Structure 1
Amino acid sequence: MRLLFASLIFSFLIACSSVREGSYEADIIVYGGTSSAITAAVQAKKMGKSVIVVSPDIHLGGLSSGGLGFTDTGNKVVIGGLAREFYHRVYLHYAQDSAWKWQKREEYGNKGQGTPAIDGENRTMWIFEPHVAEQIFEDWVEEFQLVVHRDEWLDREKGVIKKNGEIVSIQTLSGKKYRGKVFIDATYEGDLMAAAGVSYHVGREANSVYGETWNGVQVGVYQHRHYFMDSISAYRIPGDPSSGLLPEISPENPGKNGEGDRRLQAYNFRMALSRNPDNRIPFPKPTNYDSNRYELLARVYAAGWNETFWKFDPIPNLKTDTNNHGPFSTDYIGKNYDYPEASYERRKEIIREHEDYQKGLMYFLANDSRVPENVRNEIGNYGLAKDEFTDNGNWPHQIYVREARRMIGSYVMTEHDVLGAKVVPQSVGMGSYSLDSHNTQRFVTPGGFVQNEGDIGVHPKQPYSISYGTLVPREEECKNLLVSVCVSSSHTAFGSIRMEPVFMILGQSAAAAASLSIDEKVSVQELGYEKLRNVLIEEKQVLENELN
């Protein structure tokens, strides 16, 4: 009997120990593994706060380490704080001779996106290889002794516990529970925000909602070169509607201009391709490859299009950050509408569908006789970079979620803020990129031709401030949550805000606000802005336009 009792006690103690081992507590809980998440965690530690990064991702850095190495800088003068420190560390890396394994430094050139790739005067570099970015984030983890729990996915159904308008704890699918004083959602999807009951929007608002011009449906608006410039039949047999639509064309009516809808700008993968024969892998043929799904691209070539390589942007070591360009490219248009609110299983399906489409596209370009010979020959000089994404078949581990949920918070940024028609209150950072949306749909015109819709690119006259209210939910919805990626903004404003340097800036500012709200024992909404402003200035964030 005593033996049985002792055994029961021992089992009880083991069970209690397991519960304790599965429970974690810190001042600040950051959910996400993006660049914004890591800068938030670094800032929290700098301000003396304990922090745990709960990351669904194994690899840290999101798109910054997931293939987007040709940085969307906009005006780099307004990129400060930890974001600038990141690009300074990129500069230091490529200052070493050992960094140039596949290419001589002097052969690289100095092309960046609207700015030189290497800025020697300011000791920053804006173009980089994916593995270099990831290592910088890992260096921060080590230097600041960040606690990072990887491959931990929020239980979106019942994993968020709230009391008196505050998040008490979150729980992941593995059963781990995290208690904190303030939480930061730094995911591309906004899962914590949504699970906490915070209002959000998916898709495009009607122009009438915020009095905008560039929101909603934009049929016939062509501001980049990502549309069909020639009249190309949408049907399998040209000119014959009874033959059915070609693959990748929607039968849905595109809607009226200015109307809101649930459509999202397209996603893709930012591939790291290599031109070095010793560091490239030929484009693989997907198991479910069907060349006919790319017939539309064949017709584009037949019409004389010749811009295949316009967005094979050079990054160091004879590699590229390869992005979408043209009417039919790496963007998988219209195939992501349910992604933001989809289950994890459905998201995985969507990601696989995008991967199959894009791998098939590259194989088509390299091998199909309908592709002009000069294009096939040039594509033959490229392949997947052998030394990138080595645990994922050299394919990016992060799909480019250009837009998912967007919070409806204390302040909603709109195109009026971005384009300078309004003075933005309580700045926590700045943006400067154009209102940039990729296409949202591919449809049939009344004449039976194919066309894309949704691509816009409207440039602000000058950099603009981003309000603290964009990071903060309405107080009645949640008092201790900040959102640093799926910020409170309209579709058009988010098209400018959604750049990786800005996400880093906002992650740092969100963590500073979280730390101060803990010190002041107030909600994130009640935090006095002047105290936050002083900290951000001390941390070298750029808050106002000083270019006038």
Structure 2
Amino acid sequence: MKREEKFDVVVAGGGPSGIMAAIAAARSGAKTMLVERYGFLGGMATNALVGPLQTFHAGEKQIAKGLGEEAIQRLKKIGGTPGHVKDMIGFVPTVTPVDVEKLKFVYQEMVEESGVHLQLHTVVTGVQLGTDSNLEALHLYNKSGHFQVEGKAFVDCTGDGDVVHYSGVPYEKGRPKDGLAQPMSMMFRMGKVDLEQVKAYMKENVDDFVLADEWEDAPFVAVSGFFKLVEKGKKDGNLKVERDRVLFFELPNEGEISVNMTRVIRYDATDGQALSQAEVISRRQVMEVVQFLQEYIPGFKESILINCGTQIGVRESRRIIGEYILTGEDLINGKKFEDCIALGSYPIDIHAPDGDELNVIEMEPGTIYDIPYRSILNNKVRNLLVAGRCLSATHEALASARVTPTAMLVGQAAGTAAAMAAKAGVLPREVDIKSLQESLRKQGCYLSENEVEES
């Protein structure tokens, strides 16, 4: 196997957490490689059209800043987002609609400008462990063939914990009672939607929707409802998808929306055959949902399907068993940790692994919880950190911590820590937590509610 040059930090996965991990590591002075399997960056937000991004806020306070906020401001300058706007549904304080093509470009520019060695169209096929059980190299494959990249510190941001799996780090999947994970969904975009007609129907049928207070003031349309029409479609035999509502969000371009209505249950995203079948099922569901929307939902008669995600959207797969496992109770109680590296506030949003329900575990509005450094560390391969949805959390806690703004914050912390460890010649767990926290604060990140209040 061909051996490539050695890096200080190697980040696997170019999704929101991996992008921020790589940029943070490179800006901290570490020689950094970012490995991504597609020909573009963005992860679920771009390859699966998962949007809008939500949420950067806890109540009236913006808790997610740092590199993630820098990306949004750059995107705003080129007309790729209106920024953070009120959520019409009221599920979260704000949502951030994005033009995914412009987001791909912004992520690419940030990575390139930071001096990251970007390796696209490349997948992880295995690892090389040393006699001390730490990672020495990743085995990779692309059009040039198999090769190996050495590093001092590694960050798994693959979403599915692929490096974790190859390294033998213990992990969990799904809910405790049966291992079933949250369902996968194929997101898709539609155009030529008459949103004025949609809003007119909502005004006349308010009880058939989940709506925020003063929802009519929201600048972008978000819909969770049409329950009666969904029920009618099911009774007519024209909607068989395991969904109880119409769910879509307006995009920055006029008349365009992002639809989240497909649901593939009981399939494992880390099983190659199961993932293949899920893709086939989901695209069949897209066509069914599009026809249903066009025939049943006001404002959709002249609408068109623009595109589906490059891949099906995955909510949950592998989660490491780390030095600390974040729990649902931690989130609900707004637990604080001395080794906090990021703040979160998204509700515990569990799409039933075996049905059509959307289960939300109530949190007090504005609740802010800490994510501890220990939840991205493990006790087996000690120079491997994780970020994104494979962090150490229970099934319930991951249902909140998995979202894009939080993933970007954790990624930024993981990349910073990896760079500090590599430069000092120590293991990530030996990095001084106070120094790490100070570095994150200098990068514009908030690590306590008091800091947010002072902003």
The aligned residue for residue 377 of structure 2 is: 472
Structure 1 residues 264 and 534: CA distance shift in structure 2, 3 A: same
Say whether 1:169 aligns with 2:137.
yes
Does structure 2 conserve the Cα–Cα contact (< 8 Å) formed by 1:58 and 1:151? yes
The aligned residue for residue 437 of structure 1 is: 350
**AA matched with 1:32:** G
Please give the residue correspondences for 1:366-515 in structure 2 after superposition, counting only pairs within 5 Å: 366=294, 373-375=295-297, 378-385=299-306, 394-420=307-333, 422-442=335-355, 452=356, 455-461=359-365, 462-474=367-379, 477-485=380-388, 486-515=390-419
Tell me the secondary structure at the aligned position of residue 175 of structure 1.
strand
The aligned residue for residue 156 of structure 2 is: 185
Q: Distance in 2 between matches of 1:423 and 1:512?
A: 21
Tell me the secondary structure at the aligned position of residue 154 of structure 1.
strand
| Cα deviation, residue 457, structure 1 | 3.7
Structure 1 residues 528 and 110: CA distance shift in structure 2, 3 A: closer
The aligned residue for residue 331 of structure 1 is: 263
Decide which moves more: 83-92 or 405-414.
83-92
| Cα deviation, residue 127, structure 1 | 1.7
| Cα deviation, residue 150, structure 1 | 1.6
Does structure 1 conserve the Cα–Cα contact (< 8 Å) formed by 2:68 and 2:405? yes
| Cα deviation, residue 300, structure 1 | 4.4
Tell me the secondary structure at the aligned position of residue 409 of structure 1.
coil
The total of aligned residue pairs comes to 402
**AA matched with 1:43:** A
Q: Distance in 2 between matches of 1:299 and 1:348?
A: 27
Structure 1 residues 297 and 133: CA distance shift in structure 2, 3 A: farther
Does structure 2 conserve the Cα–Cα contact (< 8 Å) formed by 1:33 and 1:54? yes
The aligned residue for residue 189 of structure 2 is: 272
Does structure 2 conserve the Cα–Cα contact (< 8 Å) formed by 1:65 and 1:132? no
Computed over aligned residues only, the root mean square deviation of the Cα atoms, in angstroms, reads: 2.9
| Cα deviation, residue 145, structure 1 | 3.3
Please give the residue correspondences for 1:216-227 in structure 2 after superposition, counting only pairs within 5 Å: none
Does structure 2 conserve the Cα–Cα contact (< 8 Å) formed by 1:203 and 1:261? yes
* Structure of greater Rg: 1
Structure 1 residues 539 and 193: CA distance shift in structure 2, 3 A: same
Cα deviations by residue, 1:186-217 (Å, 9 ceiling, x for unpaired)? 01111111111111100112xxxxxxxxxxxx
Q: Distance in 1 between matches of 2:84 and 2:136?
A: 52
Does structure 1 conserve the Cα–Cα contact (< 8 Å) formed by 2:334 and 2:368? no
Does structure 1 conserve the Cα–Cα contact (< 8 Å) formed by 2:319 and 2:392? yes
**AA matched with 1:69:** G
Cα deviations by residue, 1:24-48 (Å, 9 ceiling, x for unpaired)? 3211111012111111111111111
Structure 1 residues not aligned, in runs of 5+:
1-18, 118-125, 206-259, 278-294, 367-372, 386-393, 443-451
Correspondent of 1:262 among 179, 189, 193: 179
| Cα deviation, residue 129, structure 1 | 1.4
TM-score normalised by the chain length of structure 2: 0.81
Structure 1 residues 321 and 176: CA distance shift in structure 2, 3 A: farther
Structure 2 residues not aligned, in runs of 5+:
195-229
| Cα deviation, residue 301, structure 1 | 6.2
Correspondent of 2:71 among 73, 81, 86: 86
Does structure 1 conserve the Cα–Cα contact (< 8 Å) formed by 2:45 and 2:100? yes
Correspondent of 2:107 among 137, 153, 163: 137
Does structure 1 conserve the Cα–Cα contact (< 8 Å) formed by 2:187 and 2:308? no
| Cα deviation, residue 374, structure 1 | 4.5
Tell me the secondary structure at the aligned position of residue 62 of structure 2.
helix
Structure 1 residues 319 and 513: CA distance shift in structure 2, 3 A: farther
Does structure 1 conserve the Cα–Cα contact (< 8 Å) formed by 2:193 and 2:299? no
Structure 1 residues 65 and 453: CA distance shift in structure 2, 3 A: closer
| Cα deviation, residue 454, structure 1 | 6.6
Cα deviations by residue, 1:392-441 (Å, 9 ceiling, x for unpaired)? xx321142211111111011100121112643231001000101111211
Same amino acid, percent of matched pairs: 23
Q: Distance in 2 between matches of 1:204 and 1:297?
A: 32
Correspondent of 2:54 among 72, 75, 80: 72
**AA matched with 2:401:** I
| Cα deviation, residue 356, structure 1 | 2.5
Please give the residue correspondences for 1:103-114 in structure 2 after superposition, counting only pairs within 5 Å: 111-112=86-87, 114=92
| Cα deviation, residue 313, structure 1 | 1.1
Correspondent of 1:55 among 20, 36, 42: 36
Correspondent of 2:233 among 280, 298, 308: 298
Structure 1 residues 431 and 109: CA distance shift in structure 2, 3 A: closer
Q: Distance in 2 between matches of 1:70 and 1:409?
A: 30
Decide which moves more: 65-74 or 50-59.
65-74
Structure 1 residues 489 and 109: CA distance shift in structure 2, 3 A: closer
Tell me the secondary structure at the aligned position of residue 413 of structure 1.
coil
Q: Distance in 2 between matches of 1:421 and 1:65?
A: 30
Does structure 2 conserve the Cα–Cα contact (< 8 Å) formed by 1:70 and 1:321? no
Structure 1 residues 535 and 300: CA distance shift in structure 2, 3 A: farther
Structure 1 residues 493 and 473: CA distance shift in structure 2, 3 A: same
Structure 1 residues 137 and 420: CA distance shift in structure 2, 3 A: same
